Amino acid sequence: MAKTKAPPATSPDPPPRPAEYTVVARRYRPQQFADLIGQEHVSQALVNALQSGRVAHAYLFTGARGVGKTSAARILAKALNCVAGPTATPCDKCDSCAGITAGEDVDVLEIDGASNNKVEEIRDLRQNVGFRPTRSRYKIYIIDEVHMLSTSAFNALLKTLEEPPPHVKFIFATTEVQKIPITILSRCQRFDFAHVGPAKIFEQLKRIVRQEGLEADDDALQLVARRAAGSMRDSQSLLDQLLASASGRLTAERVHGVLGTTGSERVVELAAAILNHDPKSALNLIAGWVDRGLQIGELVDQLVEHWRSLMLISCGPDLQTLPVSPGERETLFQQSSKLTLDTILAGLEVWTTTKARMRGSGHTQVLLEMAVVRLSRMGEVLSVGQLIQTLGQNGVPSLSVPVGGTPPSAASGMGRGDPREPDVSKKNGLMDLAKGSTSSHNEGDEEAAFQPLILNEKSLTEVWRQFLRFLTAKSPILANHLKFAHPPAIFGPNSLAIRFHTSYNHAYEACATEFNVQKLQDVLRKLTGQPGTIRIDLVSGPVPVVAKPVVTPAPAPAADRKKQLMGLPLFKKAADALGAQIWHMDDDFNPNAAPPKPVVPTETEADPDEV
C-alpha cells in the first residue's frame, strides 16, 4: 500500500494591513467658504466677488500658519472651475471639485515657492501660461510661501502677473508678506487672515471629538485651544496626537503630561509665591515640577500668559474675555489689585526676556530661577514721570525701600557684603532722608501717645497736616504724590475726598490703586481712632499751585571748609611765609559772604562831632 504524502505545511495568513490613516487636520479641512472659521471677512469678500463677477486675476493671502490660507485658495479654485460655476458654493461632486480637493487637478497647479524659487522655473511657468486649460474654465496657479522666491524670479513674474491671459488666475499665500516686493503687492488683491480665537478653536475641536465618537473634557480642549496660539491646524494636529497617546477620555491631566506643562492652579501658586516675595517657596515648587518632567520653556510661556492676564485686568477691570476659569479670574483680579501697572509691565518684561534668552542657552533652569528670584525681590515700580515728580518735590531724592524689604542696592546686586541681607545702614539713611529728620525715636511709641483727632470742617487743616506727617513716616513716596493734590474735602463722616488735577495724572494713578487707597485709609484710622474712607478723584479746572519748600543746603564738613579756606590768597600766603595753620573755625564763618553795607546816617540823625 503506497504511502500518502502529507500535505505541505501552509504558513498562517498575514495580518490584514491597516487602512491608511488620514490625520485630523486633512479630514476636517474646510471645503466651503462657510467652513473658514475665524476668517469671515475674507469669505464674505470672496463670495461677493464671485456673485458680482468681479474676480481679480491675482490674489495674495497672508497670515500666520494654519489659519486657512491654502484652504481658501483651493475653495476659490473650486468655485471658479466647478461645473455649476463660477459659484460661491461649489458642489464638491464634479470631477473638477474632486480633483482640486485631492490636489490632483491638471488645471490647478499648486507650487511650493520654497523649492521652486529659481528664475528658470518661473520662466517655464510663463511659457505654460499661454496654453489654455485642459478641461476646466481657468488655469489656476497656487504658489504657497511665495516670499521664498528669489528677486530674479519675482522680476520674471512681473509682466505676466500684471497682464495674464484671461484664462489664468494667480493665488499667492505667504506668512511673511514683508518680504514680498512692493511691485508684486501692487498687482494683487491682498487679504489678511486673522488669528483664530481660542473660543472658536475650542468649538471646532469639540465638534471634531463628537464626530470622531470620542470623549474629551472641556478643560482639556481649552488647553489645546490656548496652546495653538491662533492656529487652527496646530490645534487639530495636537488633538490628533493627544487622541493617539492613550485610549479613553481626554483629560486635562493627560494634556499636561503630553505637553510637559503644569496646571493653571500651580501657575497661580507660583505667581503668588513670587508676588509675596518668597523666593524659597517659588524655587521649591520649580524643583519639584522639574523632577516630574516639567518642560521649563512651557512653564515660562504659561507665566507670560499669567502676567499678560494681570496686565489686561489692570488696564480694564471689566474685561471678561480672558481664556481662564472663573476661579482663576477671581485670583487674577486679587493679584492685580495689589500691583501697579508699571510693576506688572516690569514683570512681563522679565519673563519675555527670559524666554528669548532660553532659545540659545543650555541652562534654561538657571535662567528661570534667576527670573523668579529677581521678581521676588522686586518692589513697587514707578514710572519715569512719577520718579521725576518725586525727585523734584523736595530737591533731594525721596527714596523708599521696596515692598519686599530689600534696598535698591541689594536688589540690583551692587550692594556691599552679602547680597541676601539688606544693608541696614543704607536703609535707615534713605528713610531718614525721606522723613527729613535724623531723630531716632520709635514711630510706634509716637502713634501710641498721639491723641485721636475728630475730623470736621474746623479741624480739617490740622488733620491733613498730621495725615501727611504720619504718611511720610510710613510711605514717603506716596506722601510726595499727595502734595500735588487739591486741598482735601469732607464728603461724609470720617471720609476724605482727595482730588488731583488732570495735569497730575501720574500722581493720581499712583494714589488711586486699591493697595494705596487701603494704606491711606489705615493712616486716617490711626489718626482719628475710627474707620475712615478715602476717595481719589481726578478733576479739571484751574491748576493748583504747589508750593515748593525751600531746601537749606547742609553745611559742608569742617575738613572741607578748612581745605577751601587754605586755597584763598590770604591764607595761602600766611601758610607759605609763616607756616600758619587753621586750628579753629566758627560754624557760621563764611569768607565768601559779602561785607555788610555801611549804615548811612539820615538827615535827622545828629553828628556826634558837631554836638
Average pLDDT over residues 62-69: 91
pLDDT for res 437: 41
Identify the weakest region by mean pLDDT among 22-31, 175-184, 274-283, 410-419. 410-419
Phi, psi of 286 (to 5 degrees): -65, -45
Task: Please write the tens of the pLDDT for every residue from 318-336.
Answer: 655 666 666 677 788 888 8
- Beta strands at 139-144 and 495-501: parallel, antiparallel or unpaired: unpaired
CA distance 552 to 395: 10
pLDDT at 405 over 60: no
Whether residue 491 contacts residue 499, with contact meaning beta carbons closer than 8 Å, is answered with no
CA distance 474 to 293: 45
Closest CA to 481 of 450, 445, 513, 507: 507
Task: Please write the tens of the pLDDT for every residue from 535-553.
Answer: 888 887 655 454 444 444 5
Closest CA to 388 of 473, 480, 502, 470: 480
pLDDT for res 169: 92
pLDDT for res 75: 94
Phi, psi of 584 (to 5 degrees): -145, 145
**513-to-314, 475, 506 alpha-carbon distances in Å:** 10, 14, 12
Q: How many CB atoms lie within 10 A of CB 435?
A: 17
Q: Sorting pLDDT into bands at 50, 70 and 90, what band is 610?
A: very low
Beta bridge partners of 111: 143
Q: Sorting pLDDT into bands at 50, 70 and 90, what band is 71?
A: very high
pLDDT at 555 over 70: no
Q: Sorting pLDDT into bands at 50, 70 and 90, what band is 394?
A: very low
Q: Sorting pLDDT into bands at 50, 70 and 90, what band is 227?
A: confident
Q: How many CB atoms lie within 10 A of CB 497?
A: 17
Only one residue has cell 504658489, namely: 143
CA distance 52 to 150: 36
Q: Is residue 501 helix, strand or coil?
A: strand
Q: Sorting pLDDT into bands at 50, 70 and 90, what band is 600?
A: low
pLDDT for res 590: 63
pLDDT at 563 over 80: no
Task: Please write the tens of the pLDDT for every residue from 264-321.
Answer: 778 888 888 998 888 898 999 888 888 877 788 888 888 888 888 888 888 876 655 6
What is the set of domains in the chain, with CATH numbers?
24-193 (3.40.50.300), 198-259 (1.10.8.60), 264-376 (1.20.272.10), 443-539 (3.30.300.180), 556-600 (no CATH)
Please indicate whether residue 3 or residue 536 has the higher confidence score (pLDDT).
Answer: 536
Q: How many CB atoms lie within 10 A of CB 211?
A: 11
CA distance 273 to 372: 9
Only one residue has cell 463677477, namely: 53
| Strand ranges across the sheet with 495-501 | 489-492, 495-501, 533-539
CA distance 34 to 345: 40
Q: Is residue 142 helix, strand or coil?
A: strand
Only one residue has cell 524670479, namely: 153
Q: What is the DSSP string of 29-83?
A: ---SGGG-TT-HHHHHHHHHHHHHT---SEEEEEESTTSSHHHHHHHHHHHHHST
Task: Please write the tens of the pLDDT for every residue from 103-155.
Answer: 888 899 998 888 887 888 888 888 888 888 888 899 999 999 999 988 888 88
pTM above 0.75, yes or no: no
Identify the weakest region by mean pLDDT among 84-88, 168-172, 179-183, 590-594. 590-594
Instruction: Tell me the range of 13-27, 351-365, 382-396, 411-425 where mean pLDDT is highest.
Output: 351-365
**Could you tell me what percent of the chain has a pLDDT over 90?**
19
pLDDT for res 44: 93
Task: Please write the tens of the pLDDT for every residue from 438-495.
Answer: 344 444 444 445 578 888 888 888 888 888 888 888 788 888 888 888 888 888 888 8
Q: Sorting pLDDT into bands at 50, 70 and 90, what band is 16?
A: low
pLDDT for res 562: 72
Task: Please write the tens of the pLDDT for every residue from 576-585.
Answer: 777 777 777 7
